[in-house]
């Protein structure tokens, strides 16, 4: 067997670690040999610890070619390397650093022949991957099957199966039970998809991990890399999935110097395949593990951390931590009770204007929510008040595909000359793609054919979809109220939504929120007129000193993890919205919802507002009286003060 000798890498000691690190951080940097689990509380300087640990190893003579630094974005890896280079005053170009996918790509290029690939394989992105799946659906004749899932769903099933190392059947049963009848066809489709990729010498992003793990099942290759990687440093370990865990287990087997940094209290991505047990079971999996805790928080003041500690102590499956603040003074968090979602929107908007008047810029204020649909009334209110905002990691409410789909029907009904809306709406029906939509429109407008004549001339496969579309248009025209019209469209659109998007239930909730909003408008025309004014923020801002960079942030809590703002509002904090109703009968899911609340509160550097409406309207139950989230009643009342929003009622 080939020998892999590790030569010392000589560098001069130039860093004063005691001066730059607190005692908890210093202990990690100096003593984390062997399997080491660093439990890094929110705002405790975990990135700093990783950078100084990396610098410490290099100063001790470890060759950068024998260190692997794994992060969850390549940008994070580049920033860490840049800061380490600044500390050491030298280049670290030979360091193995980047995401799991990046490292997998490098190793696969070197070892591709062992898997039957050539080293010049092509990597296809998500969109190309979905297009290839679409081609496979066509080639196998599955597009002819009624209600067969769209390419986005198939892509998500494949990705979840790879990252969780679970069978396709299990993924479908757990995430897509409504398409269980197609399980055998989906498996055949994915086999065909994988065969076509190999024939074309291409890999998708999931193949980079699957291929890397396959290589490590070859003893000689596993031995080679486990000897090369003398020290392994892993960031955001609570977000790793099963395949990443198996890779780490294999490449750390020889030297056993694996240091993982994470926080079980911030594990909130199970829907993406993240597995909290990777962290909770780390000491069991890696015998002799040293456990370090980083509990000194540099972000939030004591009152906010008291609340956060009070939240997370109710979880059973965790490594207990007690965050301690460097900022001893601060404002106590505020829980705000409002009459309904409209008053919630008015209160938050008015309070933001006051906070800006106090000197805090808009970009230092964030509004967080559990689910996207909860922000609709707020967006409308912000637009009315000319408060500029951006939606982090997503589109404004009315820019989202499913919202535009529903509106396209309404636009065509009110304006039969609207070509774009007609094509968008009719393309949502079985058998009618953009090509047929163009042809039908030309027949209607250029050739002057009526609908019945067009119907007779269509192929059988397109007739069904065309008839569905026309029947729906006739129904909408007969309905007087805008809300009822939207609900009629939703009932037709529901199947398309479930077969086209990987988060159909969230999108249906958005649509129900749209219908609820439409209740306030007597006609479809009036509703569309109002909506059109929301398409883009164009007016002069009411806020002095506004610039394009100074925007209020709206975000789901999932998108906000890792970020921080001076002021944070959490809205929609009421029963059956937070925690998510599906979590109520699942103790594991309920603990993740509690962690989500913890993550939201620890984003704030100065002020925290938790807002909930007392009345809500749902499609199923109509107007209901609501109370604050069950999580609020778990808390010690001394952790927050309570306001009512009555003073904002007439603003």
Q: CA-CA distance, 71 to 233, in Å (whole number)? A: 9
Burial 445-474 (b: 16+ CB within 10 A, else e): eeeebebeebeeebeeebbebbebbbebbe
Q: Residue 545 and residue 110: Cα distance in Å, rounded? A: 54
Neighbouring-strand partners of residue 325: 297
* Separation CA 524–CA 276 (nearest Å): 48
Locate 201 and state its tokens. 């010498």
What is the C-alpha separation between 190 and 321, in angstroms, rounded?
44
List the end-to-end C-alpha distance of the chain, in Å, as a whole number: 78
How far is Cα 22 from Cα 583, in angstroms, rounded to an integer? 38
CB of 388 within 8 A of CB of 541?
yes
DSSP symbols for 482-534: HHHHHHHHHHHHHHHHHHH-S-HHHHHHHHHHHHHHHTT-SSHHHHHHHHHTT
The alpha carbon of residue 181 and the mean position of all alpha carbons in its chain are separated, in whole angstroms, by 28
Residues marked as catalytic: 46-47, 235-236, 266, 603
In angstroms, the Cα distances linking 618 to 246, 339, 576 are 44, 16, 11
Cis upstream peptide for 579 (omega within 30°)? yes
* Encoded tokens for 2: 């080939």
What does the DSSP assignment read for 438-491? HHHHHHHHTS---HHHHHHHS-HHHHHHHHHHHHHHHHHHH--SHHHHHHHHHH
Reduced to 3 states (helix: H, G, I; strand: E, B; else coil), residue 54 is helix
Q: Rounded distance, CA 98 to CA 73, Å? A: 7
CA angle 112, 113, 119 (to 5 degrees): 50
610 DSSP β-pair partners: 335, 570
CB atoms < 10 A from the CB of 515, how many? 21
């Amino acid at each position: 067997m080939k020998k892999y000798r590790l030569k010392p890498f000589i560098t001069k000691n130039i860093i004063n670690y005691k001066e730059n690190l607190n005692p908890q951080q210093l202990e990690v940097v100096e003593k984390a040999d062997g399997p080491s689990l660093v439990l890094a509380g929110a705002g405790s300087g975990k990135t700093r610890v990783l950078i100084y640990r990396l610098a410490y190893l290099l100063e001790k003579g470890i060759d950068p070619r024998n260190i692997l630094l794994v992060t969850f974005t390549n940008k994070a890896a580049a920033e860490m390397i840049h800061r380490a280079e600044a500390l050491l005053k030298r280049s670290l170009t030979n360091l193995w650093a980047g995401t799991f996918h990046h490292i997998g790509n490098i190793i696969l290029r070197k070892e591709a022949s062992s898997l039957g690939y050539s080293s010049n394989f092509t990597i296809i992105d998500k969109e190309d991957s979905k297009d290839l799946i679409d081609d496979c659906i066509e080639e196998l004749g599955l597009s002819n099957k009624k209600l067969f899932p769209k390419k986005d769903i198939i892509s998500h099933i494949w990705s979840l199966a790879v990252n969780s190392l679970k069978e396709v059947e299990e993924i479908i049963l757990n995430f897509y039970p409504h398409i269980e009848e197609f399980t055998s066809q989906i498996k055949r489709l994915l086999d065909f998809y994988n065969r076509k990729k190999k024939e074309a010498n291409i890999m998708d992003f999931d193949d980079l991990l699957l291929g890397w793990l396959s290589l490590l099942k070859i003893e000689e290759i596993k031995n080679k890399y486990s000897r090369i990687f003398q020290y392994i440093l892993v960031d955001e370990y609570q977000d790793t999935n099963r395949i990443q865990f198996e890779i780490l287990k294999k490449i750390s087997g020889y030297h056993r110097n694996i240091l993982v940094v994470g926080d079980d209290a911030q594990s909130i991505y199970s829907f993406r395949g993240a597995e909290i047990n990777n962290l909770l079971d780390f000491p069991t999996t890696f015998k002799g593990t040293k456990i370090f805790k980083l509990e000194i928080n540099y972000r939030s003041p004591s009152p906010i951390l008291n609340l956060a500690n009070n939240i997370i102590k109710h979880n059973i499956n965790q490594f207990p931590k007690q965050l301690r603040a460097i900022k001893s003074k601060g404002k106590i968090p505020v829980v705000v009770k409002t009459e309904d979602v409209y008053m919630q929107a008015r209160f938050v908007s008015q309070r933001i204007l006051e906070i800006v008047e106090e000197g805090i810029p808009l970009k230092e204020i964030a509004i967080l929510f559990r689910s996207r649909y909860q922000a609709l009334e707020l967006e409308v209110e912000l637009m009315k008040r000319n408060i500029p905002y951006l939606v982090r990691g997503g589109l404004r409410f009315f820019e989202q595909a499913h919202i535009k789909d529903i509106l396209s029907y309404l636009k065509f009904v009110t304006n039969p000359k609207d070509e774009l809306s007609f094509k968008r709406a009719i393309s949502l029906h079985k058998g009618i793609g953009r090509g047929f939509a163009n042809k039908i429109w030309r027949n209607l407008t250029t050739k002057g054919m009526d609908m019945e004549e067009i119907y007779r001339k269509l192929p059988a496969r397109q007739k069904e979809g065309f008839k569905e579309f026309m029947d729906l248009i006739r129904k909408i025209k007969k309905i007087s109220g805008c809300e009822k019209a939207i609900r009629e469209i939703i009932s037709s659109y529901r199947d398309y939504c479930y077969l086209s998007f990987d988060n159909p239930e969230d999108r249906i909730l958005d649509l129900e929120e749209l219908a609820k909003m439409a209740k306030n408008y007597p006609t479809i025309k009036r509703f569309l007129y109002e909506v059109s004014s929301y398409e883009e923020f164009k007016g002069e801002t009411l806020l002095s000193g506004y610039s394009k960079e100074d925007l209020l942030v709206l975000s789901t809590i999932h998108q906000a993890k890792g970020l921080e703002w001076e002021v944070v509002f959490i809205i929609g904090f009421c029963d059956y919205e937070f925690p998510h109703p599906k979590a109520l009968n699942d103790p594991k899911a309920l603990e993740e919802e509690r962690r989500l609340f913890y993550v939201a509160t620890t984003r704030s550097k100065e002020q925290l507002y938790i807002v909930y409406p007392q009345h809500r309207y749902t499609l199923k139950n109509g107007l209901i009286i609501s109370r604050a989230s069950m999580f609020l009643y778990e808390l010690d009342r001394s952790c927050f003060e309570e306001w009512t929003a009555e003073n904002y009622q007439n603003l």
